[in-house]
């Protein structure tokens, strides 16, 4: 019967053979070229990400914001007691400042949130108009996407008015399942989002 030692020795010997093949392949010019290209691509992807972040930051800085208030439920769930706004157009989210303070560590912020934090901290975002409504992030985004597709060229004032009407309307139909389903279909969201 094969002993544990024999089994071990056999496996080590197999590994040695494998390493010999791998080493030989590493000396191959095509393999060398392949590894070089992989490294080049890795660097390129980093640059692409950096360039994309630049675009995103410009978007946050240059947007004439249309602010909506994050609803109490959302804020409470995230341990917030203060009111925060989110721009329905670019998604700049003031609650990121709170998130940063709570963690006191930028590592837990996503790359996007870190960018938001930089813009919010610089104070370059304090402009635009306010919609007098509060809602959760997903619904705010869904309503904006819906309205934007419906009237791509609307002015900010028009957006504010339509947004307000849409959210008011959603509040009115709350608790009426068939109307909720209809609205969810129109906004392309799960009906549960309207019942939050």
Q: What residue ranges bind Zn ion (CB under 5 A)?
A: 63, 65, 87, 89-90, 92
Q: In whole angstroms, how close is the CB of 117 to Zn ion at the nearest point?
A: 15
CB closer to Zn ion, 63 vs 173: 63
Tell me the sheet residues that pair with 129: 66
CB closer to Zn ion, 13 vs 83: 83
Q: In whole angstroms, how close is the CB of 65 to Zn ion at the nearest point?
A: 4
Q: In whole angstroms, how close is the CB of 89 to Zn ion at the nearest point?
A: 4
**Strand 129-135 relative to strand 66-70: parallel, antiparallel, unpaired?**
parallel
CB closer to Zn ion, 65 vs 99: 65
Compute the CA torsion angle 26, 30, 36, 37 (nearest 10 deg): -140
CB closer to Zn ion, 85 vs 194: 85
Torsions phi, psi of 178, nearest 5?
A: -70, -40
Q: In whole angstroms, how close is the CB of 145 to Zn ion at the nearest point?
A: 14
CB closer to Zn ion, 68 vs 167: 68
Among 131, 139, 134, smallest CA distance to 187 is for: 139
Structure tokens at 26: 């590493």
Tell me the sheet residues that pair with 93: 86
User: Which residue shows structure tokens 């409470």?
Assistant: 76
Q: In whole angstroms, how close is the CB of 170 to Zn ion at the nearest point?
A: 22
- Kindly give the residue spans of alpha helices, DSSP state H, lying in the chain: 4-27, 29-62, 72-77, 95-103, 111-122, 137-150, 156-172, 177-187, 191-194
The SS3 assignment for 190 reads coil
Query: Residue 76's CB: how many other CB atoms inside 10 A?
Result: 10
CB closer to Zn ion, 92 vs 187: 92
Q: In whole angstroms, how close is the CB of 187 to Zn ion at the nearest point?
A: 20
């Amino acid at each position: 019967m094969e002993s544990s030692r024999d089994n071990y020795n056999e496996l080590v010997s197999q590994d040695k053979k494998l390493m010999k093949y791998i080493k030989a392949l590493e000396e191959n010019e095509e393999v060398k070229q392949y590894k070089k290209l992989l490294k080049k691509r890795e660097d390129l992807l980093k640059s692409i990400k950096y360039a994309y972040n630049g675009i995103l930051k410009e978007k946050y800085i240059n947007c004439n914001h249309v602010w909506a208030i994050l609803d109490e439920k959302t804020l409470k769930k995230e341990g917030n007691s203060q009111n925060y706004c989110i721009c329905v157009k670019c998604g700049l989210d003031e609650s990121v400042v709170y998130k940063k303070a709570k963690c006191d560590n930028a590592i837990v912020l996503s790359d996007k949130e870190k960018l938001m934090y930089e813009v919010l901290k610089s104070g370059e975002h304090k402009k635009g108009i306010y919609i007098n409504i509060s809602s959760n992030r997903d619904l705010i985004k869904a309503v904006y996407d819906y309205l934007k597709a419906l009237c791509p060229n609307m002015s900010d004032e028009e957006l504010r008015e339509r947004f307000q009407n849409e959210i008011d309307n959603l509040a009115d139909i709350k608790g009426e399942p068939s109307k909720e389903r209809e609205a969810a279909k129109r906004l392309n969201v799960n009906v549960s989002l309207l019942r939050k």
